[in-house]
Amino acid sequence: MASGSGSNFENVVHEIHAGRLDADAVLLVCDKPGAGVLARAEKLKVPFALVDRKQFPSKEAFEADIVKRLDASGCDFIVLAGYMRILTDAFVLRYWGRIINIHPSMLPAFPGAHGIRDAFEAKAAATGVTVHFVDTGVDTGAVILQKAVPLVQGDTLESLEARVHAAEYLLYPEALRKIISGHVSSPARPSAEG
Ligand code: GRF
């Protein structure tokens, strides 16, 4: 699932096509009309669905449409790659342990929508990349892999972004390989009492 340019999406699909990831990209779900990721899916011949929140009366109805499509696709895992909406608890619990996200910081540092910019503005000595299971919080789920990216003298936001993205392109496939090969187990499901 993605909302943006889709460079991580494309990178993961390349890894699959190159035989380095034993998976199949069965469906891209995008919530943003005109997002670059849609053109990438078309080019890479990955089936895609544009599900526009504005076409639905509520967040629940919007997600119900996504659920219908995901279930029809037969997917085992939901890989978020720049999906910019917060999933409802019901969605997260339905696919518990099967939703994975990549975040451009060393969580728990710099959660939220602007991880790279926030680290840059804070003049942090280092930031990084985190791949994690999604839980019902925002950027709080169990960490699968992390990689640090130091800030260097003379860094601009753009140069830092480029290094963080380069780290993402290595880390996300590596984390997905670990999951697929059974080397990472899903976090325990929260109990009904919460
Ligand atoms: C990446 O930095 C990812 O970590 C974050 O959103 C960005 C998506 O970039 N969650 P792209 O669309 O994959 O190019």
Mind listing the pLDDT tens digit for each residue in 45-92? 999 999 999 999 999 999 999 999 999 999 999 999 999 999 999 999
pLDDT digits (tens, 9 = 90+) for 4-48: 999 999 999 999 999 999 999 999 999 999 999 999 999 999 999
Supply the residue whose CA is at minimum distance from atom 10 of ligand 1. Answer: 82
Secondary structure class of 7 (helix, strand, coil)? helix
CATH of residue 37's domain is 3.40.50.170
Q: pLDDT band for position 191 (50/70/90)?
A: confident
In a domain, 121, yes or no: yes
Domain assignment of residue 191, yes or no: no
Residue 155 lies in a domain: yes
- Ligand 1 atom closest to the Cα of residue 101 is 10
Q: How far is the CA of 193 from the centre of ligand 1 (A)?
A: 34
Q: Is there a single domain that holds both residue 86 and residue 4?
A: yes
Please report whether residue 190 resides in a domain: no
Are residue 54 and residue 125 in the same domain, yes or no?
Answer: no
Q: How many domains does the chain have?
A: 2
Contact 144, 175 (CB under 8 A): yes
* Domain termination site, one of 37, 68, 95: 95
Give the atom of ligand 1 at the shortest distance from the alpha carbon of 103: 4
**Residue 130 CA to ligand 1 centre (angstroms):** 12
> Where is the domain boundary, 64, 95, 126?
95
Q: Is residue 90 domain-shared with residue 3, that is, in the same domain?
A: yes
Ligand 1 centroid to Cα of residue 160, in Å, is 14
Note whether 81 and 151 are same-domain residues.
no
Question: Quick one: 14 exposed, middle or buried, by C-beta within 10 A (0-12, 13-18, 19+)?
Answer: middle
Is the per-residue pLDDT at 192 higher than 90?
no
pLDDT of residue 193: 56
pLDDT given at position 190: 84
Pocket test for ligand 1, best of 168, 169, 171 (most atoms within 8 A of CB): 168
Are 66 and 155 in the same domain?
A: no
pLDDT band at 194 (very low <50, low <70, confident <90, very high): low
Taking the CA of residue 168 as reference, the ligand 1 atom at the shortest distance is 4
Centre of ligand 1 from the C-alpha of residue 81, in Å: 6
Is 192 domain-assigned? Answer: no
Identify the domain containing residue 49 by its residue range: 1-95
- In terms of domains, do 58 and 133 share one? no
Helix (H) or strand (E) segment spanning residue 17: helix 7-17
Whether residue 121 is found in the same domain as residue 168: yes
Ligand 1 atom nearest residue 9's Cα: 13
d(CA 36, CA 33): 9
Residues with CB under 6 A from ligand 1: 2, 4-9, 81-82, 102-104, 168
Say whether both 12 and 72 belong to one domain. Answer: yes
Backbone angles phi, psi at 168, to 5 degrees: -60, -40
The answer to whether the predicted template modeling score (pTM) of the entire model surpasses 0.75 is yes
Supply the residues annotated as catalytic: 103
Write the residue with the smallest CA distance to atom 5 of ligand 1.
Answer: 82
